[in-house]
Amino acid sequence: MEIPLKVNTEREAIATYIDVLHSFHRLTDKEMETLLEIIISFRTLLLKYDESVANSLYLNKANREVMLKRLKMQNQTFKNYLSLFRKKGIVTDSGISKTFLQDYNNVTIVINICNEGKG
């Protein structure tokens, strides 16, 4: 089965991608919104810098302040979300998990359901 999901912006594409994967990562709406801002911040840096530089900058103080304003969130709350994302392997010391860094202009998700039981 193939179901095309049409979006108008990259932001909407990323949000839709995160939403589609919800049953796998089990993030709350606020966690998904926070992750969206982190990914947008990272992708914005990738327009100017290579991946290693973007990895070192996307959570720096200046970028955090921008994200905190957009999210209307306190720094400690943001840190709590980062801790959760680290525990889930979404954000690591080397950057954002490749699962969440896609070509959002044309991303395909394939789900294989394998019945390994006897029924």
Encode pLDDT of 76-110 as tens digits: 999 999 999 999 999 987 889 988 998 888 888 88
How high is the mean pLDDT of the chain?
A: 90
What is this structure's pTM?
0.85
At 111, the pLDDT band (50, 70, 90 cuts) reads confident
pLDDT at 84: 96
Please, what's the largest Cα pairwise distance for the chain? 55
Calculate the alpha carbon distances from 82 to 20, 30, 37 in Å. Answer: 21, 12, 12
Exposure of 117 by Cβ count < 10 A (0-12 exposed, 13-18 middle, 19+ buried)?
Answer: exposed
Residue 5, token pair as written in the block: 């999901």
